[in-house]
Amino acid sequence: MTYFMCLFLLGLVLGLVGVASNPSPYFAALGLVVVAGMGCGVLVAYGGAFLSLVLFLIYLGGMLVVFGYSAALAAEPYPESWGSRSVVVYTLVYILGVVGVSGLFWGGWYEGSWVPVDELTEFSVLRGDMGGVALVYSSGGAMLVVCAWVLLMTLFVVLELTRGSSRGALRVV
């Protein structure tokens, strides 16, 4: 399971590099989907299956709305792809930066600290995410309401920004 954690974390970092290095919203949205999937995979490995599912569904729903409106605004006839010179240069710079920063902290990382929750089932009575679900609905209820309100306001802001001069969101730029 440690290998899966390494795979999820590597995919998370590469997805973040893909988002940061690509100026076109068409290809950067793919990086965001990869980041969401890999981050939820890390949460599942640490025992948060329900929280991971909720986060993945909410995040992809929000991404669908934002991607639709940003794609309508940025109607480029020839968007920069993954093979463009500037995107490759940015990708290499970001990967070298991640490797350099992780080299500073390499001595404090141990594979034993990456043990997921399911590998210690002999010592536990309950599954790891059962307590998290109860906390989301008891202590985190106010935060859920605040997050829903922020998502609603974000939707209205995006709608207002893409409305234009009374021609609607989907228009020829």
Domains of the chain, CATH where assigned: 2-75+83-116+127-163 (1.20.120)
Percent of the chain with pLDDT over 70: 71
Centroid of chain to Cα 25: 15
Residues 108 and 51: beta-carbon distance below 8 Å: no
| pLDDT tens-place string over residues 12-52 | 999 888 888 877 777 777 778 888 889 888 888 877 777 78
Confidence tier at 145 by pLDDT (50, 70, 90): confident
By three-state DSSP, how is residue 79 classified?
A: coil
DSSP letters for 9-23: HHHHHHHHHHHHH--
Confidence tier at 165 by pLDDT (50, 70, 90): low
Give the model's pLDDT for residue 97. Answer: 93
